[in-house]
Structure 1
Amino acid sequence: MTTKILVNQRSVQIFRVMLSGIFLVASFNHLLNIEKTVNRMDQASFKGIAYFFGNPELLVILSGVTMLIAGFALLIGFKTRYAAIILALVLLPITLTVQVGQINTLGPLFKNIAIMGGLIFFIFNDFSKTEKL
Structure 2
Amino acid sequence: MILQSIDRRLTPGPKMSALADAVFRILTSLIFIIGGLGHFGEHRMMLDRIADSPWHDLVVAIGDPSLLLWLSGIVFVVFGIALALGWMTRLSALLILVTLIPITISVHIAPGHVGPLFKNIAIMGALLLLIARGGGAYSLDNRWGQ
> What TM-score comes out, normalization by structure 2 length?
0.79
| Alignment: residue pair count | 124
Could you list the runs of 4 or more consecutive aligned residues of structure 1 that deviate by over 6 angstroms after TM superposition? Answer: none
In 2, Cα distance between equivalents of 1:52 and 1:41: 13
Quote the residue 1:106 is aligned against.
114
Quote the residue 1:37 is aligned against.
46
What is the aligned-residue identity percentage?
31
Point out which structure has higher relative CO (alpha carbons under 8 A, 6+ apart): 2
CA drift of 1:47 comes to 1.8
CA drift of 1:125 comes to 1.6
Distance change >3 Å, CA 60–CA 9, structure 1 → 2: same
Specify which structure has the higher proportion of helix: 2
Instruction: Answer with 1 or 2: which has the greater Rg.
Output: 2
1:59 maps to 2:55: no
Letter of the structure 2 residue corresponding to residue 38 of structure 1: L
CA drift of 1:77 comes to 0.7
Any unmatched runs of 5+ in structure 1? 1-5
In 2, Cα distance between equivalents of 1:125 and 1:83: 13
Quote the residue 2:81 is aligned against.
72
| 3-state SS of 1:62 partner | helix
In 1, Cα distance between equivalents of 2:123 and 2:45: 23
* 1:27 and 1:63 in contact (8 A); partners too: yes
1:21 maps to 2:30: yes
CA drift of 1:129 comes to 5.7
Any unmatched runs of 5+ in structure 2? 1-12
Quote the residue 1:120 is aligned against.
128
In 2, Cα distance between equivalents of 1:15 and 1:49: 34
CA drift of 1:101 comes to 2.5
| 3-state SS of 2:128 partner | helix
* 1:49 and 1:93 in contact (8 A); partners too: no
